[in-house]
Structure 1
Amino acid sequence: MTDPEYARFFKYFDEEEVAKTVEPVLGKTRRHFVILATLLGCGGKEEFEVRLPQALDASVTPTQVREIVYQGTAYLGMGRVRGFVDIMNRVFTSRGVKLPLPDTTEQKDVERVVKGEAAQVEIFGPGMKGFSKSGPEKTVAIRRWLSANCFGDYYVRSGLTLQERELVTFCYLAAQGDTTAQMAAHAAGNLKMGNNEEILIAACLQFAPLLGYPRTLNALAVVEKAAHPAK
């Protein structure tokens, strides 16, 4: 950062106030998951390149980083993720990480649908059974792609647990904005997977220095409704 005054007061807020509030809840590794996924979601390439070495220093593994970046494609699209893949590999190379990392994509096409839909059922409940073939015929392709591609190509990969994947998905959604319906569904999915209200609030608080207050407050409101639907 080229402005020392700005760097000084931002660093104080980020490291002394935010980190010391959220890290006791999230833990160091999961806090960095949230940071990386949030920067992907908002398109923060420059800050991602700064934060990625910090994540690796905090024992986030290259495989975990790769999975966070890859999974972002399902929620952000290649148009926004390609540049992050290049940054990731550039940082890995500078730190002596042998590339490419081991390939974990082995399932056949039919397995993508079956395994992806099984992940949807585990996260969202039995109402997701048969999702890939449900609904109007004219839009059945998008539901099949959600099962086969979003969940079958990304969620079922090794490297991150389903619980961790749901948390980073919530971060992608909160960071890009205009995703209230999807945030609500994935807030509920997070709660079902064991990311309780305290964890989700801590993730939202970590958004503040990265996304600013409007999107942080929007995400907190979604978490409140998901955790207390009767209110």
Structure 2
Amino acid sequence: MDRVEKSKEKYKQLFGNGVPAAYATDPDFQDILSYFIFGEVFSQGNLDDKQCELITLVVLAANQTLPQLKAHVGAALNVGLTPVEIKEAVYQCAPYIGFPKTLNALNEVNDVFKEKNIALPIESQKTVTEDNRFEKGFAVQTEIFGDVIKRMQESAPANQKHIQEYLSAFCFGDFYTRGGLDLKTRELLTLCIVSALGGAEGQVKAHVQGNKNVGNDKETMIAAITHCLPYMGFPRTLNALACVNEIIPEK
């Protein structure tokens, strides 16, 4: 099957029988878009459709491309992702893109859920308490990155220790410990989010190592970054791939 036929089949699977509005005004551009994203990128690598749609959601949230995000919430449901998985993927963005942008993304998710009569709020995935969120977050953080976390906390200047504590309690305690998505998925999504931001190559490298530590191999990371390409462009994609190759050199 050539990429044109692949794109038509994949688009129908994701979005149904509708026709993109851009065909009325920019048909050549829409063909390029459709044939590349749905005819080539979607079939590249070892990811399934659910993983691809989770990655699409977080990159669109990071970029604040909200109309496309809304369309892909529907696509995510169409390929079998649950409301919990969709919500958790968007929640996972908050430590990296901030609360306002995450709330913008959640508004789009909630609009789709309401249209589809999905009851809100969905079931809570919280697993920590105020008393143990730091401890549980530190444990997950150490599982991902190793003993370097303890050294970072011990060596932080006194006026910056709170930032290290926030990382453990907030980023990893409040989010990574939640149900709905497993650790490997959360860490892969985080790699995609920080790659999409641009200018965060230090964090990209750290999360390449984190992905490796939790069991995501180089081919999975390359496939994930490849899937980000249509949504974040070549410069950020090439920067992310350079980080992968630096941490995990080609043999």
Q: TM-score range by the shorter chain?
A: over 0.9
Q: Tell me the residue number matched to 1:99.
A: 120
Q: 2:198 aligns with which of 152, 157, 177?
A: 177
- Provide TM-score, normalisation by structure 2: 0.86
Identity of aligned residues (%): 35
Task: For 1:214 and 1:84, locate their aligned partners in 2 and report how far apart those are by CA, in whole Å.
Answer: 24
What is the alpha-carbon distance in structure 1 between the residues aligned to residue 177 and residue 155 of structure 2?
21
CA distance in 2, matches of 1:52, 1:133: 42
Code of the aligned partner of 2:84:
T
CA contact 1:117–1:131 (8 Å) conserved in 2: no
Contact 2:212 2:218 in 1 (8 A): yes
Does 1:110 find its partner at 2:131?
A: yes
105, 114, 138: which one aligns with 2:159: 138
Alignment match, 1:17: 40
State the SS of the aligned residue for 1:104. Answer: coil
1:102 CA drift (Å): 1.0
Q: Secondary structure at the match of 1:109?
A: coil
State the TM-score, normalizing by the size of structure 1: 0.93
Q: CA deviation at 1:106?
A: 5.1
Report if aligned partners of 1:133, 1:143 keep a CA contact under 8 Å in 2. Answer: no
CA contact (8 A) 2:42 2:227 kept: yes
Paired with 1:69 and 1:227, the residues of 2 have a C-alpha distance of: 28
Amino acid at match of 2:124: D
Determine which of 75, 79, 104 is the counterpart of 1:58: 79
Q: Where in structure 1 are there 5+ consecutive unaligned residues?
A: none
Q: Counterpart of 1:37? A: 58
Q: Which amino acid aligns with 1:74?
A: P
- Say whether the 8 Å CA contact 2:90–2:105 is kept in structure 1: yes
CA distance in 2, matches of 1:215, 1:130: 30
Deviations 1:33-78 (A, max 9, x none): 1111111122221211111111111111110111111111111001
Of 232, 236, 246, which aligns to 1:215? 236
Alpha-carbon separation, structure 1, partners of 2:110 and 2:231 = 22
Q: How many Å apart are 1:134 and its aligned residue?
A: 4.9
Q: Secondary structure at the match of 2:101?
A: helix
Q: Would you say the 8 A contact 2:126–2:177 is kept in 1?
A: no
Secondary structure of residue in 2 paired with 1:192: helix
Letter in 1 for 2:43: K
Name the count of aligned residue pairs: 228
Inter-partner Cα distance in structure 1 for 2:67 and 2:155? 41
Structure showing greater radius of gyration is: 2
2:14 aligns with: none
Greater share of helix: 1
What is the Cα deviation at residue 21 of structure 1? 1.3
Q: CA deviation at 1:126?
A: 2.5
Mark the runs of 5 or more structure 2 residues left unpaired by the alignment.
1-20
Larger RCO: 1 or 2 (CA < 8 Å, sep 6+): 1
Q: CA deviation at 1:136?
A: 1.4
